[in-house]
Structure 1
């Protein structure tokens, strides 16, 4: 199956190993991947702050990069939601681009959703001997409506122990530019989330949105250094877990 791979600029610039893990998982499942060289930011960070016109270049570039794909798989739920559900709002006065955006919206899938609901795979043959807990990020769970696929995949990872995260529906405090504009509130939310993660006894927190994972990793590391949390807890994208053998 031929797919176009949307790796997310955050992963591309700071966590390339996560992108490679996603590539390896999909290739092992028989997918033939194309990674468009011109892909950059999807424009979400601009539109989240109300800079809709400034986002137009990124939005149109994304459409041009991916509109001819059979399927597009995104490593970021928030970016996938922006492309699938939000582009048509910003292009409503540009009929040609609106039509192109609508065609693209039917092709894009979040990573775990694609594996489970398009490829029909729930066991990718992974093995990970660790105790983990899972953070259900807001965009993936609430906005895209993807709830079961990550847990179906994790339940079939050999040697893995999954502990339920209390109040897992709570935001981690990142929220894109929310964490910049509302720093004190964001910090309080992040601290609460980190303490709940630590309280599970897990050594790894897993998610499917790298921005959330970056935020949680920062707070977990900070609280460990301050002596508030008595162990180092690692944050990992679910693609990294599924790529382990």
Structure 2
């Protein structure tokens, strides 16, 4: 995504969108949906050009030196904003939880890392918990089910927030999975290191999704969504897959994840 300048005359919080690598490369629609939702809520949204990967792949692989080098860039790029908002629980968790721990003994970066962590939020949590958005004007004709991604759920306590906003859309019927909080098997580098275990986990998750009978699968992390969409497609399932921000922003005209050209 390219830089987005704040709209003239807006006086709301100055928010930087941390796009994430997967959104940038595979599903830019999620980024544009995030901007739309934030601007509708009164924010002045910018997309810092200097942003990079959050460093999570290196961090999860135990490479602390490269993680810190990446984190230094991110801390500098997002230093001057009121808030940093991320359409991903795992990347938001990296900035909010793991950056402060990485630099807690660094005399120069401990405070900047902690301040960045305090100002960073997952997108839906930011809308509901910080901006106090309790409803969105919108319509979606069909049934949806929701997967609780591990980082968003366990690190950031994102659970009821997306469901509350989804229930406010006219025409939408929310159907819960039998085990919505069970991991889909992606886990970043986990699916590469342990492919057999990962495949079994996403197969079990796909069966749960199909059994729900929902038309559409939603979640807040694109990595999980790409993993589940791929398995559903290989199983011949009819369930489509989208990021929750796309539905909340009314941006569902294009192909679903894993269908056609994203």
State if a TM-score over 0.5 links the two structures: yes
**SS state at 1:140 partner:** helix
Give structure 1 regions of 4+ aligned residues with deviation exceeding 3 angstroms: none
Tell me how far 1:98 sits from its aligned partner: 1.4
Residues 82-131 of structure 1 show CA distances to partners (whole Å, capped at 9, x for unaligned) of 11111122223422111110111110111111111111112121211111
**SS state at 1:128 partner:** strand
Contact 1:29/1:124 (8 A) holds in 2: no
Distance in 2, matches of 1:25 and 1:83, equals 21
**SS state at 2:17 partner:** strand
Q: How many residues align?
A: 239
Tell me which residue corresponds to 2:25: 13
Determine whether 1:138 maps to 2:150.
Answer: yes
Distance in 2, matches of 1:235 and 1:143, equals 24
Tell me which residue corresponds to 1:235: 241
Q: CA RMSD in A?
A: 1.1
> What is the 5 A alignment of 1:1-245?
1=12, 2-224=14-236, 229=237, 232-244=238-250
Uncovered stretches (5+) of structure 2, i.e. residues with no partner: 1-11, 252-262
Residues 137-178 of structure 1 show CA distances to partners (whole Å, capped at 9, x for unaligned) of 111111111221111111101100110111111000000100
**SS state at 2:144 partner:** strand
Structure number with higher helix proportion? 1
- What is the TM-score when the length of structure 1 is the normalising length? 0.95
**SS state at 1:205 partner:** strand
- What is the TM-score when the length of structure 2 is the normalising length? 0.89
Tell me how far 1:239 sits from its aligned partner: 0.6
